[in-house]
Copies of this chain bind each other. A is one copy, B any other.
Amino acid sequence: MDMGLIVAAVGAGALALAFALYKGLWIKKQDPGDRALQDIGAAVREGAMAFLAREYKVLSVFVLIAAAVLVALNKPELRLVGVSFLIGAICSALAGFFGMRVATLANMRTANRAREGLNPALHVAFSGGSVMGLCVVGLGLLGLSALFLVYSGLWGGDLPTVSTRVLPVLSGFSLGASSIALFARVGGGIYTKAADVGADLVGKVEAGIPEDDPRNPATVADNVGDNVGDVAGMGADLFESYVGAIIGTMVLGAVAAQSMPLVLLPLAVAGAGIFVSVVGTFFVRTREGGNPQMALNMGTMGAGALLAALAWPIVHRIAPMEFFIGDAPYTATGVYYAVVAGLGGGILIGLFTEFHTAEGRKPVVAIAEASTTGAATNIIAGLGVGMMSTVLPILTLASAIIASHHFAGIYGVAIAALGMLATTGIQLAVDAYGPIADNAGGLAQMAKMDPEVRKRTDKLDAVGNTTAAIGKGFAIGSAALTALALFAAFEQSAGITEIDVTKSKVMAGVLIGAMMPFFFSALAIGAVGRAAHTMIDEVRRQFREIPGILDGTGRPDYARCVDISTKAAIREMILPGVIAIATPILVGYFGRLEMLGGLLCGVLVSGVLVALFMANSGGAWDNAKKYIEGGHFGGKGSDAHKAAVIGDTVGDPFKDTAGPSINILIKLMCIVSLVIAPMLI
């Protein structure tokens, strides 16, 4: 075993964290602005950190019980899986904690720097996002490679030990990450949309005050929601994908390809990805008056191109010239092509997502036009766009699967997922930049700063909407490939040679699996509805009972709204979470391994489709509204605009709660199965 390689991976993880620390300290040094801005920023920050504290408190109980169960039920030699689980959960939680801490420092500083111009504001917001991105990849790779080093030091680094002991125990790390991700995504999604819908429906629609108006009691909760949903939630989601793709590839390298270098290769590719992500952050520069979108694209595209170049020597250096999976021979060059297929697939899916959801493109304009005949036609058009938007990403995914399998067998499919995810550091930086810019605008408005500031942050935010949509497409595509890698690792670990849908039990499993995303979405949507309802009642109550609230002389009780969102999110995340974890265990226990395989196939396939449908219709509705607000089809206040607002509201729980939660669902069900596989054989 090449120890130097693992140490290099540990080093790459540490590099990411060091760079994140440097960026974080730089942000902290920036001027946080005047008193009003600092006050309101502190309220958002406290709300966000309070939510995280409460969430982690509930989760720590769950995590400790789950770890105990994993220790108790496993064979003696695999009991440390509980420890991996714990460390994975802690790493994911820490990434969320650091990312959000810095994001809530960056938001007010972005607003403050926006007084000077677009470029300094972009710089702060993107730096804030890059802390989140680098914490995720840093903690993910550092945790995994350090644990790998420890376990193989304890038990031995030979291939049989690695495949039967080290990797099964290590996969607990991924399960820990998934568990946190599930609750962070579902809870965060419910939080942000309950606050958003509550703030909009009573504030904007009933009381007629603008968005982010300080008179609205739910407005702080709304801004907190952007952080817990779009920063911490997204971070936990990608942390899970990132870790899952690495583990899945390692397992397949050991069990399918039976090659120690192929077990280590994913660590090296991930390390290279961290390096190019750090370099990529330096490409994000724009002149005053320049296009921030171009700057961000430079960062991700530059990092992608760099990785494609760097992967060639790395793969050829580490991977064996020729290796076998079963009887089929594959080559190092084939592995390289698989990495590139994943990388390219990820970029393509992002571009297709952009086409279907960006302002001014045909699908969004069509929805805007349909708004002129009312809300019904707006909704129908949006649902149609969402459904149509699944076609090209699915064809891309199918092609990436076939191509990467052609080049390097099932190992190729897994490393394609990693190829897509290796640049997560910068991808997530671009993604988390959006909610920071959005928050900066909210703070500027609430702190009554110069309207010019809000205009600049709006310009940054508009770009953020597109990057958010692309980020969602990227998250879904990578979740699908990661789930596929974990699915293949599960089959290999469980010793399943086929999952044959001509068998009725497998088909029943596929049907039940395919139903899960619908069930899960219905639960998530219902939860948002209930939470929003409580919020609406509270905002109405405050408008009624607090004197002078609407003319600005009375102070709304922000904390109460933050508290309602927090409680609702934590209460409502339990049931879907338990269902997602319990279903594969129950099906595995009663239906055995093959039916469980069917279940995973079903949830994977239907999950990708439902997630794409929901994320893209939600994104398209959002931008159709923005397009009308930009002065088309009657502009703001027209009937078309009212219809578009309804579509946007429908899209909110779609794109920010149910859709993203499904990413987690499919990965989680696969990783649960992978971890319990040794108990089911």
Contact = CB atoms under 8 A, between A and B. Distances in A.
Interface of A: 201, 205, 370, 373-377, 379-381, 383-385, 387-388, 390-391, 394-395, 397-399, 401-402, 404-405, 410, 413, 484, 488, 491, 496-502, 504-505, 507-512, 514-515, 518-519, 521-523, 525-526, 528-529, 532-533, 536, 597-598, 601-602, 605-606, 608-609, 613, 645-646, 649-650, 653
B388 A507 contact: no
A229 to B, nearest CB: 17
A511 B394 contact: yes
Contact of A504 (B381, B405, B501, B512): B405
Given A380-B529, A500-B498, A398 B508 contact: yes
A383 B653 CA distance: 11
Contact of A512 (B394, B496, B508, B522): B394
Nearest to A496: B502
A507 B395 CA distance: 12
Contacts of A404: 504
Contacts of A488: 502
Contacts of A521: 384, 387
A518 B611 CA distance: 12
Contacts of A646: 374-376, 379, 646
A518 to B, nearest CB: 4
A255 to B, nearest CB: 13
Q: Of residues A376, A402, A521, A598, which shows the largest number of chain B Cβ atoms within 10 Å of its Cβ? A: A376
Contacts of A512: 394-395, 398
A608 B606 CA distance: 11
A402 B606 contact: no
Contacts of A388: 518-519, 522-523, 526
28 contacts: A201-B373, A370-B529, A375-B375, A375-B646, A376-B645, A376-B649, A377-B529, A377-B649, A379-B650, A380-B525, A380-B649, A383-B525, A384-B525, A387-B518, A387-B522, A388-B518, A388-B522, A390-B519, A391-B519, A394-B512, A395-B515, A397-B511, A398-B508, A402-B508, A497-B502, A500-B501, A518-B613, A602-B605
Contacts of A525: 380, 383-384, 387
Given A375-B375, A387-B519, A391-B518, 19 more contacts: A373-B533, A376-B646, A377-B649, A380-B650, A383-B650, A391-B522, A394-B514, A395-B515, A398-B511, A401-B508, A402-B505, A405-B504, A410-B504, A498-B502, A499-B501, A500-B501, A501-B598, A511-B608, A606-B606
A529 B381 contact: yes
A613 B501 CA distance: 23
Nearest to A519: B391
Q: Of residues A201, A518, A613, which shows the largest number of chain B Cβ atoms within 10 Å of its Cβ? A: A518
A196 to B, nearest CB: 12
Contacts of A373: 201, 533, 536
A619 to B, nearest CB: 16
Q: Of residues A387, A388, A523, which shows the largest number of chain B Cβ atoms within 10 Å of its Cβ? A: A387
B502 A499 contact: yes
A648 to B, nearest CB: 8
A394 B603 CA distance: 13
A419 to B, nearest CB: 16
B380 A379 contact: no
Contacts of A390: 515, 518-519
Given A377-B529, A515-B391, A529-B370, A522 B605 contact: no
Contacts of A402: 504-505, 508
B606 A514 contact: yes
Contacts of A515: 390-391, 394-395, 609
Nearest to A387: B522
A504 B597 contact: no
Q: Of residues A384, A395, A496, which shows the largest number of chain B Cβ atoms within 10 Å of its Cβ? A: A384
Contacts of A376: 201, 645-646, 649-650
Nearest to A532: B377
A484 B507 contact: yes
A126 B650 CA distance: 40
A438 B397 CA distance: 46
A537 B502 CA distance: 51
A156 to B, nearest CB: 30
Contacts of A529: 370, 377, 380-381, 384
A92 to B, nearest CB: 28
Given A373-B536, A375-B646, A381-B529, A504 B413 contact: yes
A625 to B, nearest CB: 12
A501 B388 CA distance: 25
A605 B518 CA distance: 13
Contacts of A484: 507
A357 to B, nearest CB: 15
A342 to B, nearest CB: 13
A124 to B, nearest CB: 34
Contacts of A504: 401-402, 404-405, 410, 413
A350 B261 CA distance: 57
A514 B387 contact: no
A235 B648 CA distance: 38
Nearest to A509: B398
Contact of A653 (B380, B501, B502, B606): B380
Contacts of A650: 376, 379-380, 383
Contacts of A536: 373
A649 B498 CA distance: 46
A401 B373 CA distance: 45
Contacts of A608: 511
Contacts of A383: 525, 650
6 nearest A-B pairs in the assembled complex, by CB-CB distance: A405-B504, A376-B649, A387-B522, A398-B508, A388-B522, A394-B515
A133 to B, nearest CB: 29
Nearest to A413: B504
A483 to B, nearest CB: 11
A391 B205 CA distance: 35
Nearest to A410: B504
